[in-house]
Structure 1
Amino acid sequence: MPEKILINSFQKIIYLIAFSGFLLFHLPSAAQQGSYERFFTAILRDDVRTLERLAEAGFDLNAPSPDLEPPLFLAVKSESLRAARFLIERPEVNVDARGSADENALMIAALKGQLDLVEALIARRAQVNKPGWTPLHYAATHKGPNAPAITRLLLEHHAFIDAESPNKTTPLMMAAHYGHPMVVRILLEEGADPMARNEQGLTAIDFAHRAGRTDMAELIASFVRQRQPRGTW
């Protein structure tokens, strides 16, 4: 009996040693935890100097936030533009990492009309096309003055002009409802299908009418009429 107790005690000691080793290996040190907090605080504060110091110290610039958002995505979303540029320029940063809603940094930059970030991300070979919602959908949603240039840039880099969202909504539909009038014109001139329908059976004209944008609806309808063959007598 005493021998059995001794064996059990020995096994417990071995287990505790092994478990302690596991914790030491897998849990971040206090210094690492401090670096982690400083990293995301620096992103939100657009503090490039701190980001540079952490990078020099070997901090992982792809470490996800507590909400599992990629750092670059978070910088663009927070409009920390200097921090975003710093991260884009670092070759080890994954520019295609997606957030919890399956959005990448290029999509958010397009949505916010950040033309310089879109250019920098494309220069880093960021993913222009992806299944589901795409950067072109997001560019088409933006109303600001940079929306046409971003739209053209994405199309020049082979963005699928009639890309379908999960419910088959196209960039033209988004532009008709939310976007810049010039973006609607660009998409039409570059070959977007004005008669495509989403899962609810709605066309881009329907999207425009639902938003009360009769000018957009008429622009699309006029384009459709121009494409129709004219009879001869």
Structure 2
Amino acid sequence: MHYINKIAFNVVLIGLFCCGLNAQAGSYEDFFKAVQVDNVRTVQTLLQRGFDPNTVNPEGVPALMVAVREPSLKVAELLASWPQTRTEVRNAHDESPLMLAALKGFLPLVKKLVNNDADVNKPGWTPLHYAATGGHVPVIEFLLDESAYIDAESPNGTTPLMMAAMYGSPEAVKALIQAGADLTLKNQQGMTALDFAVRGQRANARELIETGLSRLAERQKRNQPVVHAPAVQPAAR
């Protein structure tokens, strides 16, 4: 009888374990399906039950990155503000969720990510580069307010202003210039922001940068010390 009871007990344990695995598998599938379709209610319910927000999908991509990529903005904002979410994750191109959100101009999401410790000044390409590339002035201004380095250099020395000049918008170029971006920097190919604007055939960006360079030259000229010619001594008689 004791042996039979022991067997029965083990069967119950195995049954409970299998039920737990099935429930976990069901939660996993439900979670990522909800992430993809921006079903924030389901995601929130699973998180409140203890589901790990940092779980990766079958391709190894964290849920936050999936939500930003879709985009599933309501879910992305929920995950970005969830205390247990790791916001500093990277994809195969060394891009963070903050960079992708900045590129797309999702300001509310950008704010939630920064508030949950996303790195504004990550090494290499930065969120400010991506915001400038997308031409999103509100995101640019927010990142600068959060101490983003305005002249951050990519691995090849390209700055946010250069990216704005070639790919962004005139408004983004103007915002960076007014915030103090260095117009004279060169990347490893020897290209300045003006060169980027010319190559990208961005006439408005080119005009803004040329105007900025002219004003810079005028300021430098005014600040140069005045060299007086030596006084002419009257000829001796």
**TM-score over 0.5 (shorter chain):** yes
Q: Does 1:48 align with 2:37?
A: no
User: Partner residue of 2:85?
Assistant: 93
User: Partner residue of 1:18?
Assistant: none
Aligned partners of 1:96 and 1:105 also within 8 Å = yes
User: Partner residue of 1:195?
Assistant: 184
Give the letter aligned to residue 72 of structure 2. S
d(CA) in 1 for partners of 2:22 and 2:91? 27
d(CA) in 1 for partners of 2:90 and 2:43? 21
Aligned partners of 1:69 and 1:100 also within 8 Å = no
User: Partner residue of 1:126?
Assistant: 118
d(CA) in 2 for partners of 1:51 and 1:124? 18
Q: Report deviation, 1:67.
A: 2.2
Q: Report deviation, 1:197.
A: 1.2
User: Partner residue of 1:186?
Assistant: 175
Aligned partners of 1:136 and 1:151 also within 8 Å = yes
Aligned partners of 2:169 and 2:205 also within 8 Å = no
Gaps of 5+ in 2: 1-16, 229-237
Q: Report deviation, 1:125.
A: 2.8
Q: Report deviation, 1:204.
A: 0.8
Q: Does 1:230 align with 2:221?
A: yes
**SS in structure 2 of the partner of residue 29 of structure 1:** helix
d(CA) in 2 for partners of 1:89 and 1:157? 17
Q: CA-to-partner distance for each residue in 1:94-126, whole Å, 9 max, x for gaps? A: 122222221111111111111111122222232
TM score, norm. by length of structure 2? 0.80
Q: Does 1:109 align with 2:101?
A: yes
Identity of aligned residues (%): 47
TM score, norm. by length of structure 1? 0.81
Q: Does 1:218 align with 2:207?
A: yes
Greater gyration radius: 2
Runs of 4+ residues over 6 Å off in structure 1: none
**SS in structure 2 of the partner of residue 64 of structure 1:** coil
**What is the number of residues matched between the two proteins?**
204
Give the letter aligned to residue 38 of structure 1. D
Aligned partners of 1:132 and 1:165 also within 8 Å = yes
Q: Report deviation, 1:169.
A: 0.9
Give the letter aligned to residue 51 of structure 1. V
Give the letter aligned to residue 80 of structure 2. I
Q: Report deviation, 1:89.
A: 2.4
Q: Report deviation, 1:75.
A: 0.7
d(CA) in 2 for partners of 1:222 and 1:68? 48
Aligned partners of 1:76 and 1:108 also within 8 Å = yes
d(CA) in 2 for partners of 1:168 and 1:64? 33
Give the letter aligned to residue 37 of structure 1. E
Aligned partners of 2:165 and 2:194 also within 8 Å = yes
